[in-house]
Structure 1
Amino acid sequence: MVKLVVVADDFTGALDTGIKFAEAGAQTQVILKPDFGMEEIRPDSEVLIVDAETRHLDGEAAYHIVYDLVRRCKNYGIKYFYKKTDSALRGNVGSELSAVSDAAGCSVSFVPALPKLNRITKDGIQYIDGVPVADSLFGRDPFEPVTKSAVAEVIHEGTGIEVVVVKNCKQIKRAERRAIYVYDAKSNLEMENIARELKDTLGLEATAGCAGFADCLTKVIDFSHKREVEIRRVKNLLIVCGSVNEITKRQIKYAEKAGFRRISLNVVQKLQPGYFETEEARSFLNDFYRKCSQGMPVIMDVFSHDDAVEEAAAYGRLVGVAEENIRECIVNRLGEFIDLWLGFGVDGALSLSGGDTVYAFLQRKGCKDIRPVCEIMPGAVLFETKVGERTMQVVSKSGGFGNESIFVEIADKMMVGGVV
């Protein structure tokens, strides 16, 4: 029987939250569409993780998808809901929190901090590495810059619902009116205290936050199962980075210095229609195969140079790709390269960076059975899925997560003999 439904706006968010419950022993099921049929829920599932794919939708569309999902699940008899949000406050935060509140008919307790990655909430302001989020790298994101650091202001971009900032969890008491309650938190211990206080006061019917607070909920919700974790080491690792986040760029450069083979796609390789029929493509694919056969991890990324985003927009106009479709075209092209890699028949695993990249891969290959295995590194989740008759190990990482050495550390844990 499902105890809790987690609603995420992209796949990496779904997975890095779902793994917290899986590691706590909950029977965890991941579903890739918000309009799933209730018959698709496994009888033994305790936590249902739903990727609603609303990150890049407008606020109104996101509201209706989340509202309909929560309402259907509530009518089905499910009592508890967790709205997974981005720790940098990207996406339709206000619209989706409002949708959960309206559909569940109660206040939402929102704990957006992730102290494990130095992302905290103080006086209602979200900080990344000690800097207000709007002044951090996320404020300069080329696709979805975060322009406000006050959590209440971010919420009010998408809804008019009342927002109450709670600076001390001892202030928590039963809500007299429906609202979004935003909790300050600077440490995991503070978040654990918030979870315990909520259980005894407001209740856990509707909570929200990133993977950090989800981890705290596992300590106040009882799951009784035990599980074994096994990482199967492989001879080949392909790291595909569809994210253009500055953090990802630093991670790629670090791995390249460590000896990883790097392939940076130029604008033609990313966007030219019919690219694989060209003479250049044949030469490029031979080089791709050669790099994958050298026993070192291979990185494929979209950073051909610092002006790659602007160059893609200009080239898109030249070949008839609208600017709003460029991201989708690049993700699809990365999927084509992954198909080619799978065709090499290597004993390998994938590491995919960027929620769009991961989701597109799973949709492209028709993956339905997704089993979270473990959080292999903070911010990076290993899962297994069937690709045809083959069981693949895939690491999913949000573009904005992880230290500079994360790709090296993932490869060291995944590859035969390690790399360090």
Structure 2
Amino acid sequence: MLRLLMIADDFTGALDTGVQLAAHGIPTQVVVGQADLSACSSTVLVVDTETRHLPAAKAAKAVEELTRSAVENGVGCIYKKTDSALRGNIGAELAALLKASGARNLPFLPAFPQIGRTTKKGVHYIDGVPVNESPFGIDPFEPVRCAEVTKLIHLQTEIPAQNLRPGETAADKTGILVYDAATAADLETAGRQLFQNGTPPVLAGCAGFAAFLPELLGLSDGSVVEVPQLDPRLLVLCGSVNPITLRQMDTAEKAGFTRLRLTPRQKLEPGYWASADGKAALAEIEAMLAANPRCIIETNDAGGNQLTADYAAARGIDLDGLRVGISGSVGQMFGALFGSEHLGTLLLTGGDTLLQCMNSVGARELEPVCELESGIVLARFAYQGRTRYVITKSGGFGQEDLLVELADRIAKH
């Protein structure tokens, strides 16, 4: 029976939230796009609507339709998963959920203190810096312009929004209720207060608050899923432009990872990987994988991305075309390499990259297994009768030696 529906706006976010339930042995599915809720046999269903980059009205419509379906099918709780750095159509999607659900209010807990993302007096911080002054404020595709959460919400909706302290009651309030949380204990306090009179019909937040849902919903039996044996070879496929991820790759390269940067042509020329030059490049990549147990393939140019920007400008490719073109090309490359005997464990970073790579091998559904550490998700999917594993990660968090530590842990496990 479907007990919890989670609605995410990108693939990596869907996984890092769904895994909070799956890691406790709770049956959890993650799907992209449309979902038939009446036919779902899982306890938890996470739907990635792929609405982060859509116009606000289209994003709201997708959330509204899914919410109405959940209400019609008697789903007890709907959780709107938001980006922990507040990217995407936050106001439009929260408003759509609240309106379509018919609920009196929508508690929104945007903080993820476990990875340094906090909300204090209504302002959202990344490692102590207001989010609009952090690297997310200069994101080339989805820059966050405002750190005051209620103001950010009101950029897309007129529904009332107010700020609450962690233990403050929501019972007598209407609209979108934005909770402060500087620590995980704050999230737990807010959760216990919200659930003291039963399960709220709607909630919103990121993986930070989702970590408390197994207990709050009474779904956890205390069990913890163990990490399965993984291939010790590691390929990192990076489509993120976030400076945090760039530093992680620099550190990994210094520690002995072999690093390949795709050229502007490889990233943006339609059909490149099916061309003679593309096939020759694939052969070189296979040779690299065969000779090196730890590899990185990334979509960033050395010293910045001006080469790719100039290549795109000369061909009339706009910013959205750049994003879609690069992730699509990476997906095609991934599909061509996927059957290689030299391909070990995969780590994919960036939601667009993950989506296109999974599309290339016909995987529209992933099953989160466990977290390797906070925000780093191990998932599995079926491919030609076999179970394949993939590690997923959003671009903007983790310590600088994260990739090195993960590679060491996989090799020793």
TM-score between both structures, scaled by the size of structure 1? 0.93
1:135 aligned partner = 133
- The separation in 2 between residues aligned to 1:2 and 1:326, in whole angstroms, is 38
1:326 aligned partner = 322
1:41 aligned partner = 40
TM superposition shift of 1:317:
3.6
Amino acid at match of 1:293: A
Amino acid at match of 1:5: L
* 1:404 matches 2:400: yes
Amino acid at match of 1:341: L
* 1:65 matches 2:62: yes
- The separation in 2 between residues aligned to 1:173 and 1:273, in whole angstroms, is 52
Deviates more, 1:116-125 or 1:233-242: 233-242
Query: Gapped runs of 5+ residues in structure 1?
Result: none
Deviates more, 1:200-209 or 1:185-194: 200-209
- The separation in 2 between residues aligned to 1:202 and 1:133, in whole angstroms, is 33
1:266-321, CA deviations, whole angstroms, 9 ceiling, x for partnerless residues?
2122112343366654553343122201242110101122331x432331243454
SS in 1 for 2:216: coil
- The separation in 1 between residues aligned to 2:183 and 2:109, in whole angstroms, is 11
1:90-139, CA deviations, whole angstroms, 9 ceiling, x for partnerless residues?
00000111011001111110111111111110000001111111111111
1:354 to 350, 353, 362: 350
2:294 aligned partner = 297
TM superposition shift of 1:79:
2.0
Instruction: Report if the CA contact (8 A) 2:11-2:354 is conserved.
Output: yes
- The separation in 1 between residues aligned to 2:99 and 2:35, in whole angstroms, is 21
Instruction: Report if the CA contact (8 A) 2:10-2:351 is conserved.
Output: yes
Q: 1:283 to 1:32 in 2, by over 3 A?
A: closer
- The separation in 2 between residues aligned to 1:401 and 1:312, in whole angstroms, is 24
1:323-356, CA deviations, whole angstroms, 9 ceiling, x for partnerless residues?
4211111111111221232232235121100011
1:365-405, CA deviations, whole angstroms, 9 ceiling, x for partnerless residues?
22144221110122110001122333211001001121111
Instruction: Report if the CA contact (8 A) 2:166-2:189 is conserved.
Output: no
Instruction: Report if the CA contact (8 A) 2:225-2:370 is conserved.
Output: no
Q: 1:284 to 1:368 in 2, by over 3 A?
A: closer
Identity over aligned pairs, percent: 39
Q: 1:248 to 1:30 in 2, by over 3 A?
A: same
- The separation in 1 between residues aligned to 2:68 and 2:367, in whole angstroms, is 26
Structure 1 segment 337-352 matched on structure 2, within 5 A: 337-346=333-342, 348-352=344-348
TM superposition shift of 1:232:
1.9
Structure 1 segment 115-134 matched on structure 2, within 5 A: 115-134=113-132
SS in 1 for 2:211: helix
TM superposition shift of 1:51:
0.7
Query: Gapped runs of 5+ residues in structure 2?
Result: none
* 1:79 matches 2:76: yes
Amino acid at match of 1:316: A
Structure 1 segment 197-276 matched on structure 2, within 5 A: 197-201=193-197, 203-224=199-220, 226=223, 228-276=225-273
Instruction: Report if the CA contact (8 A) 2:241-2:395 is conserved.
Output: yes
- The separation in 1 between residues aligned to 2:198 and 2:118, in whole angstroms, is 22
- The separation in 2 between residues aligned to 1:166 and 1:10, in whole angstroms, is 27
1:143-173, CA deviations, whole angstroms, 9 ceiling, x for partnerless residues?
111110100011111111101101241x214
- The separation in 1 between residues aligned to 2:265 and 2:295, in whole angstroms, is 20
Instruction: Report if the CA contact (8 A) 2:331-2:358 is conserved.
Output: no
* 1:4 matches 2:10: no
1:158 aligned partner = 156
Computed over aligned residues only, the root mean square deviation of the Cα atoms, in angstroms, reads 1.9
* 1:25 matches 2:25: yes
* 1:390 matches 2:386: yes
1:149 aligned partner = 147
1:112 to 105, 110, 117: 110
1:228-269, CA deviations, whole angstroms, 9 ceiling, x for partnerless residues?
434222142211101111111111101101100100112122
Instruction: Report if the CA contact (8 A) 1:234-1:347 is conserved.
Output: no
Amino acid at match of 2:358: L
